[in-house]
């Protein structure tokens, strides 16, 4: 059983929460979100906000916070083989209350199906906030080109 190794990223001004499923091996090593170099998350977010693609963790933090976003995952602990969402078993949900009580978050988006399914099963009944499922930015989602992801992810823009 693995436990989520790092905290959520948000500020009092965050109004849009993006939930992943559970950190990949590379993200767990980096102790930060979307650490796999082939994950297109940072390219998508940078494109949406007209910013350069961040390279360092401080740059990634700044990109998220300056655009009033929040990042977290829907799974607090689980059994997982490598980084494969399809291998997740015995998932326990994260507590989203900390973010919701201490920010202006009123919209939730899920990065991929695993995150969305866990959210709908555990967090939606508690929170009553419908989440929007977006296509995964993972390199495993090869059917979606970067351009198609950017178009779909425009939903997070206010």
Q: Could you give the strand order of the β-sheet that contains 75-79, starting from the edge strand earlier in sequence?
A: 2-3, 75-79, 89-93
**Predicted local confidence at residue 158, as pLDDT:** 83
Domain 2-156 belongs in CATH node 3.40.250.10:
no
How do the pLDDT tens digits run along the chain, 158 residues long? 999 999 999 999 999 999 999 999 999 999 999 999 999 999 999 999 999 999 999 999 999 999 999 999 999 999 999 998 989 999 999 999 999 999 999 999 999 999 999 999 999 999 999 999 999 999 999 999 999 999 999 999 98
Q: pTM here?
A: 0.97
**Predicted local confidence at residue 38, as pLDDT:** 94
Q: How far is CA 48 from the centre of its chain?
A: 15
Q: Could you give the strand order of the β-sheet that contains 16-20, starting from the edge strand earlier in sequence?
A: 69-73, 16-20, 107-111, 131-134
Domain coordinates of the chain in residue numbers? 2-156
**Predicted local confidence at residue 16, as pLDDT:** 98
Closest C-alpha to 14, from 99, 103, 74: 103
């Amino acid at each position: 059983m693995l436990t989520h190794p790092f905290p959520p990223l948000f500020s009092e001004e965050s109004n849009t929460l993006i939930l992943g499923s559970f950190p990949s091996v590379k993200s767990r090593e980096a102790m930060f979100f979307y650490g796999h170099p082939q994950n297109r998350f940072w390219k998508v977010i940078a494109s949406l906000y007209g910013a350069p693609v961040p390279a360092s963790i401080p740059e990634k933090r700044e990109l998220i916070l300056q655009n009033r976003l929040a990042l977290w995952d829907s799974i607090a602990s689980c059994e997982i083989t490598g980084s494969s969402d399809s291998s997740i078993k015995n998932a326990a949900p994260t507590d989203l209350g900390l973010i919701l009580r201490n920010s202006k978050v009123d919209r939730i988006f899920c990065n991929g199906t695993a995150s969305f399914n866990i959210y709908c099963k555990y967090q939606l009944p508690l929170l009553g906030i419908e989440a929007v499922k977006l296509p995964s930015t993972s390199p495993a989602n090869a059917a979606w080109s970067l351009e198609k992801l950017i178009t779909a992810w425009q939903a997070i823009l206010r």
